[in-house]
Structure 1
Amino acid sequence: MTQAERFLLVSADSHVAPPPASFRPYLEKEYLDRLDELESENEQFLGWTGKLGAFPEEELDLIDTEGAIRSGGVDENFVLERRLTEMDREGIAAELVLVGAQTATTPFFGATNRPYPADVRAAGARAYHRWFGDVLAKSGGRLIGVANPGPAHDIEESVRELRWAAEHGFRSVAVPGVILDDDLPPLWDEHYDSFWETCADLGLVLSVHAGHGHPQGKWFGFLEQIFGADDEKDGREMLQALLNTKGGPLDLDYIPARVTWSLMLGGVFDRYPNLQLALTECRSDWVPAMMALLDERYRRGDTPLKKSPSEYWHGHCWAGASSIKASEVRLRHEIGVDRIMFGRDYPHPESTWPNTFDWFREAFTGLPVDEVRAIVGDNAIRCYGLDREALQKVADRIGPRSQDLKLESDVDPRIVDHFAKRAGYRKSYEKIDSDEVSSLFVDDLAATSNA
């Protein structure tokens, strides 16, 4: 076994959430008085999310055998040294980092915040970029930033921020419309052309994460409703209620698919052939059925599409399979085994951390090693244009060997049961509503035709 044969692991999904005070040195002075408001919001947010993210002792005895959780690995996600320690623990050479976790509210611009005016959201995004830009500079290339476009009303301002972000270690940016805003035009509007062009020129991958396109304050209100109903409810029961409620974060949401076909219908991928789109933590087992349905509609010949939706998918789109499900592994060839990217989703309670190796052993049992290498690292390197040689040097130091992973199912069944409980590992394929999808697609087709 040579050093080069170590697995090169790149997580395509993780999160960071520093306390609001972290942004004070970076927030423009005219917005500093809003930090008190954010601190108050954060205190209430933590009162809820502390219940969501806390595992009982008997579960920690099973999943936290190395003390990663008990020693503060969740709360210290924003501390670079601790974050690198947790990456080393699981052999992660690099990971993509999005803002937002249960340990702190977002600086004004997140879906989990209370509603804020557009200028405050934009200022918060700039402050976050500059704070995390400093972190990225110290990470030795092991952290990969995802920027936020802000409200995107002034697209040239957004473009200027894109250029700053690309110069400071960010390799991706969220698609405009992270927060539902009726003042923004649809994605196929020429309003965004300079944004798409800049992303293509700079190699910034477009990102859509779970929760995209909802009104700001929706999830804050959702948490308030659940936890306000009965303060004595067990935190884990509340988590399960949240995850299994219609409209909850694990419920199938057509917004990511709609973003994808909007870029297709709007000719964005045709005009900018280098542009790439990654869907993260949106599940991916719906992709084959969705593309088959859209391909059937395309064959009627009355759309502006120059290629079939499946061709656009396999040429421009990537599936960030966070806490990868058994159903996604079974459908890997239909989704595109060269298009799926593993994400460990640290530090969320549904993440593979701190049991990533066991997750691999269970999910990838019997798979060809080259397919496993693609899913757990190679695809992310291609998607985000990462420096393979530099990351291989990191992997040669910390990456797991084949015998460490074994890729055969000898995982304690109790741990697999816990994967199912905390992240829906055994959930069946997401079923799409063909009539609803067709109706949404026809609506968007008509809108692009009339634009």
Structure 2
Amino acid sequence: MTDPESAVTDPESDSAGPGRGPAGPGGGPADRYTVISADCHAGADLLDYKPYLESEHHDDFDAWAATYVNPYEDLVADTADRNWNSARRLADLEADGIVAEVVFPNTIPPFFPSASLMAPAPSRAEYEQRWAGLRAHNRWLADFCEAAPGRRAGVAQILLNDPAEAAREVRRTKEAGLTGGILLPGAPPGSGVPELHSPAYDPLWAVCAELDVPVNHHGGSASPPLGDEPAARAVFMVETTWFSHRALWHLIFGGAFRRHPGLRLVLTEQGSGWIPGIMEMLDYYHGRLVASAARAATAESKFGAGLAGSMGASPSAVWRDNCYVGASFMRPHEFPLRDRIGLDKIMWGSDYPHDEGTAPYSREGLRIAYAGLPPAEIAAMTGGNAARVYGFDLAGLDRVAAVVGPTVEEIAEPLKEVPAGATSPAFAPGGSVRVW
């Protein structure tokens, strides 16, 4: 990334050491944290996508847009421009103590019935137009990131119907300057595309490993349709993170990391407290199935046949070497698990501009999660890890954080009262949240 340009006036400051500022927590600003949100969302206003479409799609776009009714209230509200108004967005994030962001999609790309994060895999008839819509978003996103150099890592969108075509888009978006990696769509049962453990996706994994492109799998993107009844909505809330977790064991047991050891997987907005238990479970099944395959034929031996050779290292070793978690706003019950998750794996996010995000109370969100922890650990989870995964220049961002970042003293102070206007689950009452 190029050196960050800030909407604030940078102080005169020299960096001390590669990629960090003067001596502070983790080497950053002396008394402030350099906060990078590893989970934000953006997209163009609907009609603004047209110039980014290939010309042969313009007439079809006009016809589609003329009758399209946006199903999301937040995308037609007077605050919707937070998704595409670069100056407003920088100001909002800086006011919230955040100096850079990883940008996932949010608005409706051309020819999609709903936000692409939730849209099902396209049919053969829809495929060409849907691809054109995602390429238009990726082109727009490259320009949006360029409007704030060094401050945004844009996550490109792909489809899974043709892994070779997806691999070509990875190369194109990397060359276009998108540094956030790709958004891996979900492949729930009935999606019409192979399950994620399939070797059919090897062309995609190969180019991501070659180009050091993170593969991001975002919460909410892998659930099958359940309907809109009250029970269905409740079941969705219970199951949606589980369906998003599935990408982890699909890629591990499918051997993607053995065949492509440079592949990196980031699981975003799925929490983090589940990881130690899941890794123990995966290690258990791995050991059990590999052992059963080495014994004389039994009812279970066929389940482990070939597994040791196809997947290589144990699941916990794959997690250690290849995986990260965009934990978004961590709950207090999660941070005691940080050593078991891996302190170098955890990235905080505000989920801006979503209602469930911590904005404009991200400082309070950081306090409710991290007060009392060692500053160097806080610095890693709130910025250092994201900088390493997504290639942010911390030295440049430190100069911005020296003006707008939350202070070490501020985050050390336990939160005594939840802000009245806070809507994020980070502040939800109950046993999972600690408020002093």
Q: Give yes or no for TM over 0.5.
A: yes
Q: Residue 13 in 1 paired to residue 2 in 2? A: no
Q: How far apart are residue 413 of structure 1 and its match?
A: 3.9
In 2, Cα distance between equivalents of 1:394 and 1:417: 26
Cα distance 1:395–1:181, how it changes in 2: closer, same or farther (>3 A)? farther
- Contact 2:215 2:265 survives alignment (8 Å): yes
Aligned amino acid, residue 143 of structure 1: R
- The alignment-based identity, stated in percent, is 33
SS at match of 1:95: strand
My pick for the range that moved more, 19-28 or 406-415, is 406-415
- Contact 1:129 1:147 survives alignment (8 Å): yes
- Contact 1:13 1:280 survives alignment (8 Å): yes
Residue in structure 2 matched with residue 372 of structure 1 by the alignment: 378
Residue in structure 2 matched with residue 260 of structure 1 by the alignment: 248
Q: Residue 211 in 1 paired to residue 238 in 2? A: no
Q: Residue 81 in 1 paired to residue 70 in 2? A: no
In 1, Cα distance between equivalents of 2:155 and 2:318: 23
Residue in structure 1 matched with residue 393 of structure 2 by the alignment: 387
- Contact 2:329 2:348 survives alignment (8 Å): yes
Q: How far apart are residue 178 of structure 1 and its match?
A: 5.9
Residue in structure 1 matched with residue 48 of structure 2 by the alignment: 22
Cα distance 1:311–1:23, how it changes in 2: closer, same or farther (>3 A)? same
Aligned amino acid, residue 108 of structure 2: T
Q: TM-score, normalised by structure 2?
A: 0.78
In 1, Cα distance between equivalents of 2:75 and 2:342: 37
Count of residue correspondences: 381
Q: How far apart are residue 145 of structure 1 and its match?
A: 0.6
Deviation readout 1:272-319 (Å, 9 max, x if unpaired): 222111111112211111111111112222432422211211211111
Q: How far apart are residue 35 of structure 1 and its match?
A: 4.4
Q: Residue 125 in 1 paired to residue 134 in 2? A: yes
Aligned amino acid, residue 407 of structure 1: A
- Contact 1:350 1:423 survives alignment (8 Å): no
Map of 1:9-408 to 2, 5 A cutoff?
9-32=35-58, 33-38=60-65, 40-43=67-70, 45-46=71-72, 48-49=73-74, 75-100=81-106, 104-109=107-112, 110-113=116-119, 117-150=126-159, 152-171=160-179, 172-177=181-186, 182-214=191-223, 218=225, 222=228, 245-248=234-237, 251-300=239-288, 301=290, 302=304, 303-304=307-308, 305-403=311-409, 405-408=410-413
Q: How far apart are residue 389 of structure 1 and its match?
A: 2.3
- Contact 1:256 1:282 survives alignment (8 Å): yes
* Counterpart selection for 1:409 from 372, 390, 414: 414
Structure 1: runs of 5+ lacking an equivalent: 55-71, 227-240, 430-451
In 2, Cα distance between equivalents of 1:385 and 1:50: 30
- Contact 1:346 1:352 survives alignment (8 Å): yes
Cα distance 1:345–1:99, how it changes in 2: closer, same or farther (>3 A)? same
- Contact 1:340 1:375 survives alignment (8 Å): yes
- Contact 1:361 1:411 survives alignment (8 Å): no
Cα distance 1:283–1:191, how it changes in 2: closer, same or farther (>3 A)? same
Aligned amino acid, residue 46 of structure 2: P
SS at match of 2:241: coil
Q: How far apart are residue 268 of structure 1 and its match?
A: 1.3
Q: How far apart are residue 329 of structure 1 and its match?
A: 2.0
Structure 2: runs of 5+ lacking an equivalent: 1-22, 291-303
- Contact 1:177 1:184 survives alignment (8 Å): no
Q: TM-score, normalised by structure 1?
A: 0.76
Indicate the RMSD between aligned Cα atoms, in angstroms.
Answer: 3.0
SS at match of 1:187: coil
Aligned amino acid, residue 409 of structure 1: P
- Contact 2:222 2:240 survives alignment (8 Å): no
In 2, Cα distance between equivalents of 1:416 and 1:291: 37
In 1, Cα distance between equivalents of 2:131 and 2:429: 36
In 1, Cα distance between equivalents of 2:166 and 2:172: 10
Q: How far apart are residue 263 of structure 1 and its match?
A: 1.2
Residue in structure 1 matched with residue 12 of structure 2 by the alignment: none
Cα distance 1:17–1:30, how it changes in 2: closer, same or farther (>3 A)? same
Cα distance 1:312–1:94, how it changes in 2: closer, same or farther (>3 A)? same
In 1, Cα distance between equivalents of 2:33 and 2:413: 16
In 1, Cα distance between equivalents of 2:175 and 2:242: 33
SS at match of 1:22: helix
- Contact 2:199 2:254 survives alignment (8 Å): no
Cα distance 1:128–1:252, how it changes in 2: closer, same or farther (>3 A)? closer
In 1, Cα distance between equivalents of 2:29 and 2:168: 40
My pick for the range that moved more, 183-192 or 349-358, is 183-192
Q: How far apart are residue 74 of structure 1 and its match?
A: 5.2
- Contact 1:362 1:407 survives alignment (8 Å): no
Aligned amino acid, residue 321 of structure 1: A
Aligned amino acid, residue 98 of structure 2: I
Q: How far apart are residue 144 of structure 1 and its match?
A: 0.7
In 1, Cα distance between equivalents of 2:82 and 2:185: 29
- Contact 2:328 2:348 survives alignment (8 Å): yes
